[in-house]
A and B are shown apart, each in its own frame.
Chain A
Amino acid sequence: MQRGVIAILDVGTSKIACLVLRFDGPERFTTVDGVGPMAGQSSFRVIGAATTRSRGVRFGEVDAMAETERAIRTAVQSAQKMAKVRVDHVIACLSGARPRSYGLDGEVDVHGAVVTDQDIGRVLAACDVPDYGAGREVLHAQPVNFALDHRSGMADPRGQTGARLTTDMHLLTVDASAIENLLYCIKRCDLELAGLASSAYVSGISALVEDEQELGAACIDMGGGATGISVFIRKHMIYADSVRMGGDHVTSDISMGLQVPLATAERIKTLHGGIMATGMDDREMIEIGGTTGDWELDRRTASRAELIGIMRPRVEEILEEVRLRLDAAGFEHLPSQKIVLTGGGSQIPGLDALASKILGQQVRLGRPLRVQGLPQAATGPAFAAAVGLTLFAAHPQDEWWDFEIPAERHAGRSFKRAVKWFKDNW
């Protein structure tokens, strides 16, 4: 991505965020010795940002098409208005759609003395694709490790000498119908989808710092309807999953427990919510409020301890579920077991204390990386996925490895090769 304008669309259960990025051409902050390219975030600027209350999305999946389309339209329109520019291409992420991770490996003999792009292409093509079932689509397929003969853990084996090249690949599949629904909504908004990512993955990109990504960490993106889990090691995602529970469930618990509408429950949760009860909380009375006109009903109060008593079991349930998924993924075998909580749900006071009891000692609350031009209102943990998506747009580190498709896999290639041969020899 060199130049131009692109939109980022985070379709979540509680909010839809749209950021408009302008790429100013080659990076101004060029790589020098010892300083990395800053993951590409110096090459773009956020020129428009808008969020809207999400409608028609449940569990991070499109539930009501027309409602979702309208919500996307609202977000895109106000972001465009702020950016004063029209965007035609959009990169979207979705949090639900039942992601499932697979680890693949492939093995080939190296043609020639050194490993070339062709060999990389062949070894990636040699990975045996598991039977991930009908109605599912591959969302990410990333080579996470290369091994050349007896040397493993290579990031980029190109140009190295060796005989046998093996690779480990991480494959993430999601429900095809969820993708199709989202695609259709975006198409209905006259936008073109330029990329699609899992929100667990992109929040990991933005919320984990570099050494966490390198040494091994899990990013828990606590969204509205789904909680995304992504595990990183050596700067690659090796596992992603999502728990179909989130902040909206806490809200609905409050709504049911206190007998209030959802909007009031949401307000009470954000203003007074908490997880760790203290003696003080028994005396802190919360005005529940109401507009029914019934004085008795509208003047109810609840103590903060009651509220915590409603919220805590649900949050515990979510974290227990996350714990199960991490255990299933073998997270305890990683050298470092850092856990970073991000997403809008991570703003509940006292969550880190609870999470460290359930998930382990190394828990911290993560906020997304700072990118140029991002409004102050969009720097909170709720925007981890949106910010991660901007980094993803600037620095796509995915299946788009710049290797060529192996010749035997692609019929159209032969003509291109003939042209290339002609060019080289004449």
Chain B
Amino acid sequence: MRSLTARRAPQPAGIRRDPAPTRWSYRYQRLMLTPAFRALVRIGLPVLLIVFIATAWITNEANRAMLTAQIAALKAAVQDRPEFLVTGMEIDGADPYLTDAINEAVQLTFPLSSFDLDLAALRDTVARFGAVRDVVVRVQPGGTLSIAVDQRVPVAVWRYGEELRLIDAEGVITGLIQNRGDMAALPLIAGDGAKDAIDEALALFAATGPVRPRVRGLVRMGERRWDMILDRAQRILLPTQDPLAALDRVIALHEAEDLLERDVLVVDMRNAARPTMRLSEPAVAILRRAADNQ
């Protein structure tokens, strides 16, 4: 039995079916083989589509609000993790007064996230204190805010008008005191420009030797030379040049002759070639009488 439906006529032998493309399919293929057009189709169109959809979505107010809320929530979720939490603050290298002052100035409420800490600003705040030479602020592992302070050590008391200021070896004011007795161990200096010559003053103080208990302080005269004040209102006027040598001469004289135990008001060493002494009036009178008696 044979089916009556038409079967496709077999291909004539030797002829390969090779249909010509239509004009439009030919042109379409050529267009698709153009590199620029291919790039446009493969990259340009998807990008355009994505940008279009994203723009359409973001122009909606509710979507935008939702997006910002989502971002904020995500950010908070990361920042509030216990790994990033700062629970306390410790201040190293500062005396109790400075510690109190820093605590006062920093004003942080713990716990807080380390992302919320502005360490640079914190460092500036602390470094603004006069008594702080340098400060290192960091969050230590374990969630502690560490403020390592390099505090300035006062080496002298500087009387400036009515105030008593503490200054360190670099001449920087580190604080104020009410009474001289608060820092009785520190030497006292006074006068304009005294803090600029603090090195010299300290050297002079160190050289006083046996007279040390009697020294009341150093006064800078005319911002160029020192007067050493002893008790009983005695003064040693030191020269501008090489005051240490002059002081040594006075001390030597004192050790040999007990110079400063005598009734001398002023020892003037300003002219090294001609040291001068001023005696008190009773002493002058006694001296004159003794001369008359001879």
A291 and B15 in contact (CB under 8 A), knowing A73-B20, A81-B29, A190-B30?
Answer: no
Whether A291 and B21, one on each chain, are in contact in the complex, defined by CB atoms closer than 8 angstroms, is no
Chain A 114-166 residues near chain B, CB threshold 8 A: none
Q: Tell me, in angstroms, the Cα distance from A125 to B17 when the chains sit together.
A: 51
User: Shortest Cβ distance from A267 into chain B, in angstroms?
Assistant: 4
Which residue of B10, B13, B18, B33 is within 8 Å of A86 (Cβ)? Answer: B33
Q: Tell me, in angstroms, the Cα distance from A291 to B10 when the chains sit together.
A: 8
Whether B12 and A291, one on each chain, are in contact in the complex, defined by CB atoms closer than 8 angstroms, is yes
Closest residue on chain B to residue A74 by CB atoms: B20
Interface residues on B, range: 10 to 19
Chain A 38-80 residues near chain B, CB threshold 8 A: 52-53, 55, 70-71, 73-74, 76-77, 80
A74 and B18 in contact (CB under 8 A), knowing A263-B12, A264-B13?
Answer: yes
Q: Is the interface of A mostly helix, strand, loop or mixed?
A: helix
Q: Is A266 an interface residue (CB 8 A)?
A: yes
Whether B34 and A263, one on each chain, are in contact in the complex, defined by CB atoms closer than 8 angstroms, is no
Whether A261 and B30, one on each chain, are in contact in the complex, defined by CB atoms closer than 8 angstroms, is no
Closest residue on chain A to residue B30 by CB atoms: A86
Whether A189 and B20, one on each chain, are in contact in the complex, defined by CB atoms closer than 8 angstroms, is no
Q: Is B26 an interface residue (CB 8 A)?
A: yes
A267 and B18 in contact (CB under 8 A), knowing A80-B29, A86-B30?
Answer: no
Q: Is A353 an interface residue (CB 8 A)?
A: no
Q: Is A85 an interface residue (CB 8 A)?
A: yes
Whether B18 and A73, one on each chain, are in contact in the complex, defined by CB atoms closer than 8 angstroms, is no
Residues of B within 8 A of A189 (CB): 26
Q: Is A25 an interface residue (CB 8 A)?
A: no
Which residue of B14, B21, B29, B35 is within 8 Å of A266 (Cβ)? Answer: B14
Q: Is B19 an interface residue (CB 8 A)?
A: yes
Whether B21 and A77, one on each chain, are in contact in the complex, defined by CB atoms closer than 8 angstroms, is yes
Q: Is A289 an interface residue (CB 8 A)?
A: yes
Interface residues on A, range: 20 to 34
Whether B12 and A264, one on each chain, are in contact in the complex, defined by CB atoms closer than 8 angstroms, is yes
Q: Is A84 an interface residue (CB 8 A)?
A: yes
A263 and B14 in contact (CB under 8 A), knowing A70-B20, A77-B21, A189-B26?
Answer: yes
User: Shortest Cβ distance from A268 into chain B, in angstroms?
Assistant: 9
Whether A261 and B12, one on each chain, are in contact in the complex, defined by CB atoms closer than 8 angstroms, is yes
Q: Tell me, in angstroms, the Cα distance from A318 to B15 when the chains sit together.
A: 26
Whether B19 and A74, one on each chain, are in contact in the complex, defined by CB atoms closer than 8 angstroms, is yes
Closest residue on chain A to residue B12 by CB atoms: A263
Whether A77 and B16, one on each chain, are in contact in the complex, defined by CB atoms closer than 8 angstroms, is no
A80 and B33 in contact (CB under 8 A), knowing A53-B16, A74-B19, A74-B20?
Answer: yes
User: Shortest Cβ distance from A153 into chain B, in angstroms?
Assistant: 48
User: Shortest Cβ distance from B22 into chain A, in angstroms?
Assistant: 9
Closest residue on chain B to residue A265 by CB atoms: B14
User: Shortest Cβ distance from A83 into chain B, in angstroms?
Assistant: 8
User: Shortest Cβ distance from B19 into chain A, in angstroms?
Assistant: 7
User: Shortest Cβ distance from B16 into chain A, in angstroms?
Assistant: 7
Which residue of B9, B14, B27 is within 8 Å of A267 (Cβ)? Answer: B14
Residues of A within 8 A of B33 (CB): 80, 84-86
Q: Tell me, in angstroms, the Cα distance from A190 to B29 when the chains sit together.
A: 12
Whether A73 and B26, one on each chain, are in contact in the complex, defined by CB atoms closer than 8 angstroms, is yes
Q: Tell me, in angstroms, the Cα distance from A291 to B20 when the chains sit together.
A: 25
Residues of A within 8 A of B20 (CB): 52, 55, 70-71, 73-74
Closest residue on chain B to residue A84 by CB atoms: B33
Q: Tell me, in angstroms, the Cα distance from A264 to B30 when the chains sit together.
A: 36
Whether B15 and A77, one on each chain, are in contact in the complex, defined by CB atoms closer than 8 angstroms, is no
Whether A264 and B14, one on each chain, are in contact in the complex, defined by CB atoms closer than 8 angstroms, is yes
A263 and B26 in contact (CB under 8 A), knowing A70-B20, A73-B21, A74-B21?
Answer: no
Residues of A within 8 A of B14 (CB): 263-264, 266-267, 270
Q: Tell me, in angstroms, the Cα distance from A77 to B21 when the chains sit together.
A: 8
Whether A263 and B15, one on each chain, are in contact in the complex, defined by CB atoms closer than 8 angstroms, is yes
User: Shortest Cβ distance from B223 into chain A, in angstroms?
Assistant: 75
Whether A80 and B30, one on each chain, are in contact in the complex, defined by CB atoms closer than 8 angstroms, is yes
Q: Tell me, in angstroms, the Cα distance from A74 to B23 when the chains sit together.
A: 10
Residues of B within 8 A of A264 (CB): 12-14
Whether A77 and B12, one on each chain, are in contact in the complex, defined by CB atoms closer than 8 angstroms, is no
User: Shortest Cβ distance from B33 into chain A, in angstroms?
Assistant: 4
User: Shortest Cβ distance from B36 into chain A, in angstroms?
Assistant: 10
Q: Tell me, in angstroms, the Cα distance from A74 to B12 when the chains sit together.
A: 20
Please report A residues at the B interface, Cβ cutoff 8 Å. Answer: 52-53, 55, 70-71, 73-74, 76-77, 80-81, 84-86, 189-190, 261, 263-264, 266-267, 270, 289, 291
Please report B residues at the A interface, Cβ cutoff 8 Å. Answer: 9-10, 12-16, 18-21, 23, 26-27, 29-30, 33-35
Q: What are 15 A-B contacts with C-beta separation under 8 Å?
A: A71-B20, A74-B18, A74-B19, A80-B29, A81-B29, A85-B33, A86-B30, A189-B26, A190-B26, A190-B27, A261-B12, A263-B12, A264-B12, A291-B9, A291-B10
Q: A263-B15, A291-B12 are in contact. List 6 more A-B contacts (CB 8 A).
A: A55-B20, A74-B21, A80-B33, A86-B34, A263-B12, A291-B9
Closest 3 CB pairs of A and B: A70-B20, A267-B14, A86-B33
